[in-house]
Structure 1
């Protein structure tokens, strides 16, 4: 295909995009005008007009924001369909002349647009009519003759790439441009954040994205297969397909690290969705931020389901340094409850199934019952009181109030977790559950003032066991009160809007999401599965991962915990088999590492070759710092986009100082935090140390070696 034909086709697509952007500008102006007109309805003066004003302003503002956010790359695809691919009512056909006689044209984009006559200009990528753009193949054409990918910068068409799916149906003068959009897209620099793949979704990815919303969708795939992109695009698809359910209930996306969450944070907004919540495993508990990772030996203990039993015993046990006895002088007789009796009362209350912080009043009642029964035994019948008279008398005494505060205080998760630092106390709670070595490791690793990522799941478990501290009901604050006795002048609509906002406001520690997406699920520990499961007792799920990358050694235990979180919901499984990220040369290095440990493992297939062999360097220890800095500088010169320096977890800060100041495009991460990340160039420092950091270290190294799209370099003091 000569350049003149290519330029002619680009010019034709540019003309159509000019129409689309002109219509977009018109709709933006209209939405702004409707928003302004909505405010003017308040002048009518009746309640109906005020309610109508609120509705008009809300929907117009929402539409205006959507139109403004989808400006760049608005149209990215075109379908030329034959007669057998036409829609029955023609409502999705673009207002463009079909190239195939008797067929139709559909333009695919980030949102749906129609012209003044309500004819289609652009079909939303999530709509059923757009599905053939992602799903059609030469074997199953779905009526598509030619599929065209359109790449633009701002409002200007930069290039086009065609797939001819039905040569027999194509007219002789149909132009077919390029060698394929996907590989062209893969060769571009990644930038500092993850890109959406809305223009290049492949069929096996689309199967998972559009799978039924009910139940659990499980997506497995090796490095570079687009698992994370599938998860995020599925969130956008669900919000489009059933907005009322998923926007009101909420979508939670859980990732492995804060670095990862920052990396993917732009994807959903770029797809027109900004209502989903993105959290790392260290951010799931409100008010707690875990950023550091424990050494593998400690993480193995804290992540095990056995911690459930240890924490349960701690949460139900006596408070350290609590009173050993209660002494009350009553009508000349000394009433005494010793430690055994108090322990029995505590167990009796907690055996009722109540949370500890919610049971303080109940515990006080049981103590008063025990004292009253003792008074009945000690006092003659003439001096005895009925229970309902005895209890208020004792309950109001200062010594009883002080006792209850010390014996049954309000407990907070961090406080109870701190008790585990006492080796003697921990040994009692962990008896028969943890080994002596594990007890020593656990006791020495806890710092309630600086919780690790692994601690967050333990704190959440304790929150579940203890419950929230009781709070006094507060009188609802009047949002229009300026000062005591002074209220702002408001309309009926203002007051109704405030009431609606208060009714739908989610609590800060929200735990009833409609859909939960878990990325890098193979690294989620059993205790973390319990934590995630509490956020969506009635949710549907999407679970994405790769067993070959698992950092959690006991896969069976993690599987049981996952089953406990998602329950018996119907499951749909999908496997992604193509590695789009790595060149074949890069992935071969990563594959050699994983096959040494798992010779029979099934790995994805890398679809492209860069003809650039990875650089694997071994140096003496004194030369390591200089070699790392030189290698990082070389990578920065070789690639236009980002460079990741991946280190052993324990050496991240040390290596970061070595390469500090080289370039803003460079990011240094520990091997565990590299999960889910993607860089144009990758420098793996001390790969042998990454491999030897834990029992699953070879999997972590496999991950580190498979982060690069263009160039891979390793520098270490030992071969791997």
Structure 2
């Protein structure tokens, strides 16, 4: 233990030295101008920030002792020794083997030899995947336990085995996974550690099935169907960190993005990537991506579902092109004393050609003046002149050419186009003919047309339509990789909006079909991936839960036959069954019973979430205030002195709390437009607990739970 603590102290000292070296770099005379100097200084500042030593975050969490020394490719991060070999780390006199400490970031000594190896390096992979059946060259795997940043325990797992199977006298099935949770007290303790504050990384507890997804190549897209507690969100975030490590130059150029369901969720996860040393990943909601107009209105369920229907893409395509007119007059260009005439039928042929190519509206509009100018240059050459490209550009800017383009291919403002489409019954009928029937057109049309873009009460679905129209006019920029979390709640049109942001990159889709709570919730991942433009994405399923206690997930899984009959129920590997209780009470005493359950939960360590139907939240907030129980809003960081969060059921998705008090399940179900959606919302609420769940109810429980 003392030797390991000494290595930790030496590693921290080496990290401080690395940071000091970065801070001491003088870049005054290495750039050509002040702009380059500013950019370089910004990059240097990021480097210095990433080298910070977080006192309460373990610098390393594991150790691998290899039977043979790995080659330099095993690190793949430019830190191999100059002689072409990776040097063992932290070995004291008399030690044998080749030792590597696995941590959140790379740390090297003054000679460049690694003190800690980044968890993403190839040499670290066996920490997550090696087993006694397949040790991957590892003799021993060691896990470390920490308390308040201090190394307090370690746990060894010998993996070296005689040829042909398990260690002599051992269980031939033991250690078949890289991290058998039930067999590791430290791993169990880390998974069950109380959650106070934002979401933590799981870098020390990644399981083999999770690791395979995390390390999947950047070229391929992956869809993860994950039951509650299987770590799908953490897998997606760690996948971003891994891809940035393995393909940093490429993704630094093209960009990465994490998309979450709401800002509370993004606030909850925002510290995971910085803790892994990744500071440049943008985070957003779909609503923020398509925020072309302020959203101040709402749609009823039918209108929202129809506006999210993929058929709207065809309606918008027609609407964007509806303004193109066949020319009826020639274009006459005057240059000096000469007049050059392009007849209407030739102009019409140019327009027809651009329409047939089906390129974006704006690109075609930019190309049309050049096509007209080329027709003029052909006439010039036929008359004996020798025009060059400068002449063609000048003709394309000629007033007569501009007037022709404006007349036959007018500019399109996406917001104004959607404003007209939703407010003008005749225009909508013309563009939706054969696509939407009259009842569907009536459902999406505004009852009272707005006079301007600024005065319109745009809904969230309207903003997505504007984004689609904007892409039809001008291509949306594509990123290198996008992580889309809680994807089951997106409409087809929202999937298209996300897909545009990674049309030339890849995507990691995360979700659970059983937790879909929108009227357009995804029923099939294959369909969703087609809307995203990634039909060839690999679908992986995670069913082994590490977070939700066994009793809680078994209770919630009673709802699966009604909400997602095709899904296998999750299993839990938690050793502790957790605290679980269902408490009926008198309707007149419901608030008192809820307050009592909250007080009881607050006597235990960790965060507490009181989840209730949205309609019940104001009454419960008043009751908590009257009782002197301070509470937070979802997304607000919990602290040791403020651990109770009042959570509307509609915002619970993706969040987790050590202890959950669920108020009146029947009210949660009744708060949704139909029973199936209500049961899915209830399933979400039931599975937010990490250690304990208390269900308090006065009304009868839904029949699926009452059995």
Equivalent residue runs for 1:375-394 within 5 Å:
none
CA offset at residue 265 of structure 1? 1.1
Structure 1: runs of 5+ lacking an equivalent: 1-8, 171-177, 320-344, 366-390, 469-509
Structure 2 Cα separation of the partners of residues 51 and 395 of structure 1: 40
Deviations 1:348-379 (A, max 9, x none): 997785766778899999xxxxxxxxxxxxxx
- Hey, what's the Cα distance between the residues in 1 that align with 2:479 and 2:188? 37
Instruction: Report the equivalent of 1:95.
Output: 90
In structure 1, the partner of 2:386 is none
CA distance in 2, matches of 1:349, 1:86: 58
Q: Specify whether residues 616 and 155 from structure 1 end up closer, same or farther in structure 2 by C-alpha distance, changes over 3 A only.
A: closer
TM-aligned CA deviation for residue 262 of structure 1: 1.5
Task: Quote the residue 2:336 is aligned against.
Answer: none
Q: Distance in 2 between matches of 1:294 and 1:702?
A: 25
Does structure 1 conserve the Cα–Cα contact (< 8 Å) formed by 2:227 and 2:512? Answer: yes
The alpha-carbon deviation at position 714 of structure 1 amounts to 2.8
Residue 67 of structure 2 is aligned to residue 83 of structure 1:
yes
Question: What is the aligned partner in structure 2 of residue 163 from structure 1?
Answer: 157
Give SS of 2:508's match.
strand
1:120 aligns with 2:114: yes
Give the 3 Å change call, closer, same or farther, for CA 58–518 of structure 1 in structure 2. closer
The answer as to 2:264 corresponding to 1:264 is: no
Q: 1:681 aligns with which of 627, 637, 659?
A: 659
> Are 2:693 and 1:718 aligned?
no
CA distance in 2, matches of 1:348, 1:252: 37
SS in 1 for 2:493: helix
**C-alpha offsets along residues 430-484 of structure 1, whole Å, 9 cap, x if unaligned?**
454445554454336999755444333222112223459xxxxxxxxxxxxxxxx
Q: Which residue of 2 aligns with 1:26?
A: 17
Say yes or no: does 1:699 pair with 2:680: yes
1:662 to 615, 630, 655: 630
Alignment match, 2:346:
none
Cα pair distance change 1:442/1:460, threshold 3 Å: same
Helix, strand or coil: the match of 2:131? coil
Q: Secondary structure at the match of 2:6?
A: helix
Q: Distance in 1 between matches of 2:296 and 2:570?
A: 31
Correspondence list, 1:163-202, <5 A: 163-166=157-160, 179-202=184-207
CA offset at residue 616 of structure 1?
2.7
User: How big is each residue's C-alpha offset from its partner over 1:525-564, in whole Å with a ceiling of 9 and x where there is no partner?
Assistant: 2111111111122102222222333346575676335225
| Counterpart residue number, 2:4 | 13
Partner of 2:489: 523
Q: Does 1:252 align with 2:246?
A: no
Alpha-carbon separation, structure 1, partners of 2:398 and 2:130 = 77
Is 456-465 or 637-646 further displaced after alignment? 637-646
Aligned-residue offset at 1:347: 11
> Residue 524 of structure 1 contacts residue 558 of structure 1 at CA under 8 Å; is this kept in 2?
no
How far, CA to CA, are the matches of 1:361 and 1:600 in structure 2?
Answer: 50
Residue in 2 that maps onto 1:559:
526
Alpha-carbon separation, structure 2, partners of 1:629 and 1:255: 31
Residues 617 and 646 in structure 2, CA contact (< 8 A), matched pair in contact too:
yes
Matches of 1:422 and 1:627, distance apart in 2: 54
- 1:206 is displaced (CA, Å) by 0.7
User: 2: distance between equivalents of 1:628 and 1:317?
Assistant: 59
Asked whether the 8 Å contact 2:142–2:155 carries over to 1, the reply is: yes
Instruction: Report how far residue 187 of structure 1 moved.
Output: 1.9
Secondary structure in 2 matching 1:718 = coil
Instruction: Tell me, in whole angstroms, the C-alpha distance in 2 between the residues paired with 1:601 and 1:408.
Output: 51
Residue 472 of structure 1 corresponds to: none
Within the alignment, does 1:204 sit opposite 2:199 as a pair? Answer: no
Corresponding residue of 1:485? none
Structure 1's 299 and 57: CA in aligned 2 closer, same or farther, altered over 3 A?
closer
Preserved CA contact (<8 Å) 1:82 1:103: yes
Q: Distance in 2 between matches of 1:441 and 1:216?
A: 36
SS in structure 1 opposite 2:27? helix
* 8 Å CA contact retained: 1:191, 1:642: no
Q: For the Cα contact (< 8 Å) 2:607–2:657, is it kept in 1?
A: yes
Counterpart residue number, 1:227: 232
1:402-436 Cα offsets, whole Å, 9 max, x none, are xx89x967534266247515667655654544455
Other-structure match for 1:458: 465
- 2:609 matched to 1:643? yes
Mapped pair 1:306 → 2:311: yes
Query: Are the aligned partners of 2:251 and 2:480 in contact in 1 as well (CA < 8 Å)?
Result: yes
Structure 1 pair 38/308, CA: closer, same or farther in 2 (3 Å)? closer
Matched, 1:38 2:43: no
- Given that residues 311 and 462 in structure 1 are in contact (C-alpha distance below 8 angstroms), is that contact kept between their aligned partners in structure 2? yes
Q: 1:167 to 1:364 in 2, by over 3 A?
A: closer
CA distance in 1 between partners of 2:583 and 2:161 (Å): 49
Contact 1:646 1:674 in 2 (8 A): no
CA contact (8 A) 2:320 2:417 kept: no
Q: 1:139 aligns with which of 133, 136, 149?
A: 133
Query: SS where residue 184 of structure 1 aligns?
Result: helix
Q: What is the TM-score of this pair, normalised by structure 1?
A: 0.72
Flag the 1:156–1:519 CA change in 2: closer, same or farther, 3 A. same
1:107 shift after superposition: 0.8
| Residues 347-496 of structure 1 aligned to structure 2 (within 5 Å) | 353=358, 411-413=413-415, 416-417=418-419, 419-421=421-423, 426=428, 429-434=431-436, 438-443=440-445, 451-467=458-474
Deviation at 1:285, TM superposition (A): 2.1
The answer to whether the 8 A contact 1:427-1:439 is kept is yes
Aligned residues: 608
Q: Deviations over 1:72-104 (max 9, x none)?
A: 4242323242524765875152132388x6312
Distance 1:628 1:436 in 2: 49
In 1, are the aligned partners of 2:64 and 2:140 still within 8 Å (CA)?
Answer: yes
C-alpha spacing 1:127/1:285, structure 2 compared with 1 (3 Å): same
Name which of structure 1's ranges 110-119 and 452-461 shifts more when overlaid on structure 2: 452-461
Matched with 1:536 is: 502
Q: Would the aligned equivalents of 2:320 and 2:472 in 1 still touch at CA under 8 Å?
A: yes
Deviation at 1:116, TM superposition (A): 2.0
> Equivalent residues in 2 for 1:492-507 (5 A)?
none
Q: Distance in 2 between matches of 1:624 and 1:289?
A: 39
For the residue of structure 1 that corresponds to 2:89, the secondary structure is coil
Cα RMSD (Å) of the superposition? 4.5
For residue 105 of structure 1, what is the aligned residue in structure 2? 99
TM-score, L = length of structure 2: 0.73
2:337 is aligned to: none
Greater Cα shift, 272-281 or 282-291: 282-291
- Distance, in Å, in 2 between the alignment partners of 1:78 and 1:393 is 71
1:85·1:142 contact (CA, 8 Å) conserved in 2? no
* Contact 1:217–1:542 under 8 Å retained in 2: yes
SS at match of 1:68: coil
CA distance in 1, matches of 2:105, 2:288: 32
Paired with 2:605 and 2:459, the residues of 1 have a C-alpha distance of 35
Give the direction of change, closer, same or farther, for the CA distance of 1:66–1:427 in structure 2 (3 Å limit). same
- Does the C-alpha gap of structure 1 residues 687 and 466 become closer, same or farther in structure 2, counting only changes over 3 Å? farther
**Equivalent residue for 1:324?**
none
